Amino acid sequence: MSIDKLLIIGCGNMGGAMLAGWLAAGVSPDRFAILDPAMEAAPEGVALYRDASVAEAEAGHDAVMLGFKPQQLGKLGPGFQGLTGEGVTVFSLLAGLTLAQLKSAFPNAAAHVRVMPNLASRINKSPIILLESGLDDGGRDAAMVHFDLLGSAIWLEDEGKFDLVTALAGSGPGFVYRFIDALAEAAVGLGLEPEQATQLALATVDGSSSLAAGADISPGDLADRVASPGGMTREGMNVLDADKALVNLLTATLKATADRGAELSAGNS
């Protein structure tokens, strides 16, 4: 399997971010096409189709990437059979939909791959989780090369953990953004001006994450290095650490997110 031409079916926020990341990484735009009746315009050099039959006749693709809402599979899937036939690999961004469900919806495809990125694909800094059925070693290598351009791609071998890694790496940016917003809002509540609070919160998280990514010690150890005994930082961390308040909050957050993935899967059974 190679990915010489990828047809993106439904190019919304996530699909658009991934396409932008590939183009930024230097992949030629003529290796992509889009099927999306609601999209106003495609990036320069990328073909845009609004009708599946026209895309089937003209796109010349060897892979498709599904980017519509998972709840739409039952309605839209039958119309895409001609686009997902022999020799075509189906890559799916549809949260909660299992490999078995993808095989059932697109039985003639050569292989099926679940893909979970996040919006940092746009700046080539996203984790990309891949889970496949039907790829040979060459196909796995080709997929890894293609998706690793968006950040850092990894293969997951246990589908039972896919909803959990999706909650962490796919939905995680939403939780980080909420944390940044809450950090700024807390400072505003204590007396800072909103613009200044937001600027400081953003700069703090940006610098801290960059340092943690390049450090040779764990984030937990970095936190302890910032928090000297009896100091200001330690006093604040005592609030987060009391009865594992922060860990318990995030455990509940990830569990609710992962459980929703299971509900989406059940709803498309």
Q: Do domains 6-165 and 172-264 have the same CATH topology?
A: no
The residue extents of the domains of the chain are: 6-165, 172-264
Has residue 168 got a pLDDT over 70?
Answer: yes
Specify the CATH number of the domain 172-264.
1.10.3730.10
pLDDT in tens, 185-235: 999 999 999 999 999 999 999 999 999 999 999 999 999 999 988 999 999
Which residues make Cβ contacts (< 8 Å) with residue 97, sequence separation at least 6? 70, 73, 114, 264, 265, 268
- pLDDT at res. 269: 63
Which residues make Cβ contacts (< 8 Å) with residue 21, sequence separation at least 6? 121, 122, 123, 124, 126, 149, 150, 151
- pLDDT at res. 66: 97
Question: Which of the following CATH numbers is that of domain 6-165: 3.40.50.720, 3.40.190.10, 3.90.230.10, 3.80.10.10?
Answer: 3.40.50.720
Has residue 27 got a pLDDT over 70?
Answer: yes
Question: Is the pTM here over 0.75, yes or no?
Answer: yes
Write phi, then psi, for 48 (nearest 5 degrees). -120, 125
Has residue 78 got a pLDDT over 80?
Answer: yes
